[in-house]
A and B are shown apart, each in its own frame.
Chain A
Amino acid sequence: DIQMTQSPSSLSASVGDRVTITCRASQFINNYLNWYQQKPGKGPKLLIFAASSLQSGVPSRFSGSGSGTDFTLTITSLQPDDFATYYCQQTYSTPTFGQGTKVEIK
């Protein structure tokens, strides 16, 4: 299986900060990379698909980039509603998720 490694595992940030989360695949996955947001007690919510396409209804402060093995999720101007855990997922082969990045309030 393809291993997905996210960094950092957690971070503390303030409202208004720019936040960057990275996801690295253990092998080439083209752009078959999705990002999800999960809040406690809830199912995940799709944010970005195909590495850089914004899901309908998701605020434009979220963006994704990358191709091949290295990917980035960026949140410009962090909002109170953005404190959550974020997961990347590859669909190049049997789907796998990263271990998650928890974004906490500083």
Chain B
Amino acid sequence: QVQLVESGGGVVQPGRSLRLSCVASGFTFRSFGMHWVRQAPGKGLEWVAVIWYDGNNKYYADSVKGRFTISRDNSKNTLYLQMNSLRAEDTAVYYCAREAGGSSSYYLDIWGQGTLVAVSS
């Protein structure tokens, strides 16, 4: 079935790096834009980054710009989020999500179960 599975979360010290992965199955991964969305403990959803289907365009939230990098390997059906210079405020569950629809009228129709990143000394 259509599925997204995140991995790579854990406890990391401030200033260190971590790479998250999201493996897609059940659909043609290379045809869809993909997003990362995070949720701090007990808080709401915050959009993090998007990458177009071919990897040629990437956009970031101001809160992570210059520190996080989104990428994808369409041959491996895998989405990545490289997180550098981590801060305590990056502590959250990170979700990957598939984009459907088109242009501005898009929506996130498939979500993973999330992976927890905890930034603490």
Which A residues contact B (CB, under 8 angstroms)?
Answer: 1, 30-32, 34, 36, 38, 42-46, 49-50, 55, 87, 89, 91-92, 94-100
In the bound complex, how far is the Cα of B108 from the Cα of A97, in angstroms? Answer: 12
A50-B107, A97-B44 are known contacts; what are 18 more A-B pairs with Cβ within 8 Å?
A32-B104, A36-B108, A43-B95, A43-B111, A43-B112, A44-B37, A44-B108, A49-B109, A55-B109, A87-B44, A91-B104, A94-B59, A94-B61, A96-B47, A97-B46, A97-B47, A99-B44, A100-B45
Q: Are B111 and A44 in contact (CB under 8 A)?
A: yes
Interface residues of B in 95-121 (CB under 8 A from A): 95, 97, 100-101, 104-109, 111-114
Count how many chain B residues have C-beta atoms less than 8 Å from C-beta atoms of the other chain. Answer: 24
Report A-chain residues with C-beta under 8 Å of the C-beta of B114: 43
Q: Are B105 and A31 in contact (CB under 8 A)?
A: yes
Report A-chain residues with C-beta under 8 Å of the C-beta of B100: 49
Interface residues of B in 39-69 (CB under 8 A from A): 44-47, 50, 59, 61-62
Report A83 CB to chain B, min CB distance, Å: 18
CB-nearest residue of chain A to B45:
A97
Q: Are A91 and B106 in contact (CB under 8 A)?
A: yes
CB-nearest residue of chain A to B98:
A46
Report B-chain residues with C-beta under 8 Å of the C-beta of A96: 47
Report B-chain residues with C-beta under 8 Å of the C-beta of A87: 44-45
Report A-chain residues with C-beta under 8 Å of the C-beta of B50: 95
Q: Are B45 and A49 in contact (CB under 8 A)?
A: no
Report A33 CB to chain B, min CB distance, Å: 9
